[in-house]
Amino acid sequence: MNSAKTPMPADFRLRPDPGLAPLEDGRVLLGGAPARIVRLTPDGAALVRRWCDGAPVGPGRGGGLLARRLVQAGMMHPVPPERAADPAEVTIVVPAYGRAEQLAGCLAGLGADHPVIVVDDGSPDPRPIAEAADRAGARLIRRDANGGAGAARNTGARAARTPFIAFVDSDCVPEPGWLGALLPHVADPAVAAVAPRITSHVTGSGVLARYEAEGSALDMGGAESIVRPRSAVSYVPSAALVVRRAAFGAGFDEGMRVGEDVDFVWRLAAGGHHVRYVPEAVVAHRHRTRLRAWLARRHDYGTSAAPLAVRHPEELPALTMSGWSALAWGLAAAGSPVAGLAVTAGGTALLARKFAAWTDRPWPLAVRMASGGTLAAGEVLGRTVTRTWWPLAVPVAVAVPRLRLPFAAAVLGPAAAALRRQGGSSLGPLTWTGLRVLDEFAYGLGVWRGCVEERTIAPLVPRLWWTSKDGLGSRSG
* Exposed / middle / buried, residue 367 (Cβ in 10 Å: 0-12, 13-18, 19+): middle
**Tens digit of pLDDT for each residue in 31-84?**
998 888 899 999 999 999 999 999 999 999 999 999 999 999 999 999 999 887
Longest dimension (CA), the chain: 72
**Tens digit of pLDDT for each residue in 354-407?**
888 888 888 988 898 888 889 999 999 999 999 999 999 999 999 999 999 999
- Beta strands 274-285; 172-174: pairing state: antiparallel
**Tens digit of pLDDT for each residue in 243-302?**
999 999 999 999 999 999 999 999 999 999 999 999 999 999 998 889 999 999 999 999
Q: What is the CB neighbour count within 10 angstroms for residue 106?
A: 27
Q: What percent of the chain has pLDDT over 70?
A: 97
**Tens digit of pLDDT for each residue in 193-233?**
999 999 998 766 789 999 998 878 899 999 999 999 989 99
| Contact criterion met (CB below 8 Å) for 294 and 437 | no
pLDDT score of 358: 81
pLDDT score of 470: 44
| Contact criterion met (CB below 8 Å) for 318 and 459 | yes
How far is the C-alpha of 334 from the C-alpha of 38, rounded, in Å?
Answer: 38
pLDDT score of 88: 81
What is the band of 476 on the pLDDT scale with cuts at 50, 70, 90? low
Name which of 91, 107, 54, 58 is nearest 76 in CA terms.
54
Residue 474 has pLDDT above 90, yes or no: no
**Tens digit of pLDDT for each residue in 154-187?**
999 999 999 999 999 999 999 988 999 999 999 9
Name which of 219, 224, 230 is nearest 277 in CA terms.
224
How far is the C-alpha of 67 from the C-alpha of 45, rounded, in Å?
Answer: 11
How far is the C-alpha of 98 from the C-alpha of 159, rounded, in Å?
Answer: 21
When the pLDDT of each residue in the chain is averaged and rounded to a whole number, the result is 92
pTM of the predicted model, to two decimals?
0.93
**Tens digit of pLDDT for each residue in 76-122?**
999 999 887 677 899 999 999 999 999 999 999 998 789 999 999 99
Name which of 224, 115, 198 is nearest 163 in CA terms.
115
Measured between alpha carbons, how far is residue 278 from residues 7, 57, 223, 368 in Å? 21, 20, 8, 29
How far is the C-alpha of 315 from the C-alpha of 235, rounded, in Å?
Answer: 12
